[in-house]
C-alpha cells in the first residue's frame, strides 16, 4: 500500500467534506432568507373582472384607480336604487364596507332613511350619467338622475350626486368618505377632476 496516495486521498476526502459542509450551511442560510422575504413580501393581486376593461392591481392597502372607480359606482348604484323591499338588504350590504369612523354616523342615517322608505312605501331608481374623479382628494363624484315613486304620487326626478372615496385594507375595499346630495358635484370641477360621462 502506498502511504503517500492514501494520505493524499484522505486529505482530499476531508477537504471535500469540509467544502460541502460549508456549501450546505450557505444553502440553508439562503433558504431561510428566501422564506423570510417570501413571508414579508407585499403581494399584488392582478384581476381582470368582467366589469372592467383591463387589468387592475389590488395590493394590501391600495388599488388601481379603475378598481376604486368600480366600487364607487357600485356603492352609488346600491344606495340610489332602493325600494321598501330591498332597503334592509342594502343596509346590511353597505355596512361592512364602511370605515369604522364612518360606520356609526352613516348607519344611523341609512337606518332613518330605510324606516322612512318603508313607512311611505317609496322606491327610488338612480341612473348614472356622469363620473368625475378628483385626484387631489381621491373622491369619485357619481352623478345621475334619481326617480322617486310612491304608491299614489307621480314620479319625481331630480339630479343627485354621490361622493365616494374608497381605500383598501387587507385587500378589502373600505369606504372612507360617503356623501349624497341633490344637484351637481360640489368640488370636482373646481379642483380639476377628470370627467367620464355615459
Q: Same domain, yes or no, for 100 and 165?
A: yes
Q: Same domain, yes or no, for 60 and 22?
A: no
3-state secondary structure of 59: coil
Domain region containing 35: 1-41
CATH value at residue 111? 3.10.450.230
For helices 100-120 and 87-94, the axis angle rounded to 10 degrees is 180
Q: Same domain, yes or no, for 19 and 112?
A: no
pTM over the 0.85 mark: no
Q: Same domain, yes or no, for 58 and 136?
A: yes
Q: Which residues contact 106 (CB under 8 A, 6 or more apart)?
A: 94, 98, 178
Q: Same domain, yes or no, for 36 and 56?
A: no
Q: Same domain, yes or no, for 67 and 11?
A: no
Selection from 146, 144, 149, 126 nearest residue 198 by Cα: 144
Q: Band the pLDDT of 190: cuts 50, 70, 90.
A: very low
* Widest Cα–Cα separation across the chain: 116
Interval 140-159: pLDDT, tens: 999 999 998 888 778 889 99
Q: Is the dihedral of CA 146, 99, 189, 181 positive or negative?
A: positive
**CB-count burial class (<10 Å; 0-12, 13-18, 19+) for 112:** exposed
Q: Same domain, yes or no, for 138 and 165?
A: yes
For 81, 105, 118, 140, the CA distances from 99, given in Å and listed in that order, are: 22, 11, 26, 16
Q: Same domain, yes or no, for 135 and 154?
A: yes
Q: Which residues pair with 157 in a beta bridge?
A: 147
Q: Same domain, yes or no, for 71 and 14?
A: no
Q: Same domain, yes or no, for 87 and 155?
A: yes
Interval 75-131: pLDDT, tens: 999 888 888 888 888 888 888 888 988 888 888 888 888 888 888 888 889 999 999
Q: Same domain, yes or no, for 32 and 70?
A: no
Residue 45, phi-psi category: left (phi > 0), alpha (psi -120 to 50), beta (remainder): beta
Q: What pLDDT score does 192 carry?
A: 47
Amino acid at each position: 500500500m502506498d502511504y503517500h496516495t492514501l494520505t493524499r486521498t484522505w486529505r482530499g476526502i476531508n477537504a471535500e467534506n469540509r467544502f460541502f459542509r460549508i456549501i450546505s450551511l450557505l444553502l440553508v442560510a439562503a433558504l431561510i432568507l428566501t422564506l423570510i422575504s417570501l413571508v414579508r413580501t407585499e403581494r399584488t393581486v392582478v384581476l381582470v373582472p368582467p366589469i372592467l376593461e383591463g387589468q387592475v392591481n389590488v395590493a394590501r392597502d391600495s388599488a388601481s384607480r379603475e378598481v376604486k372607480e368600480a366600487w364607487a359606482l357600485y356603492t352609488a348604484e346600491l344606495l340610489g336604487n332602493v325600494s321598501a323591499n330591498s332597503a334592509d338588504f342594502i343596509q346590511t350590504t353597505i355596512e361592512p364596507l364602511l370605515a369604522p369612523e364612518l360606520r356609526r354616523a352613516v348607519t344611523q342615517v341609512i337606518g332613518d332613511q330605510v324606516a322612512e322608505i318603508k313607512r311611505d312605501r317609496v322606491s327610488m331608481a338612480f341612473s348614472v350619467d356622469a363620473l368625475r374623479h378628483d385626484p387631489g382628494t381621491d373622491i369619485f363624484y357619481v352623478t345621475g338622475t334619481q326617480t322617486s315613486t310612491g304608491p299614489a304620487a307621480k314620479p319625481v326626478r331630480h339630479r343627485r350626486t354621490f361622493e365616494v372615496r374608497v381605500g383598501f385594507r387587507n385587500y378589502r375595499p373600505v369606504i372612507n368618505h360617503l356623501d349624497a346630495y341633490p344637484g351637481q358635484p360640489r368640488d370636482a370641477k373646481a379642483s380639476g377632476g377628470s370627467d367620464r360621462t355615459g
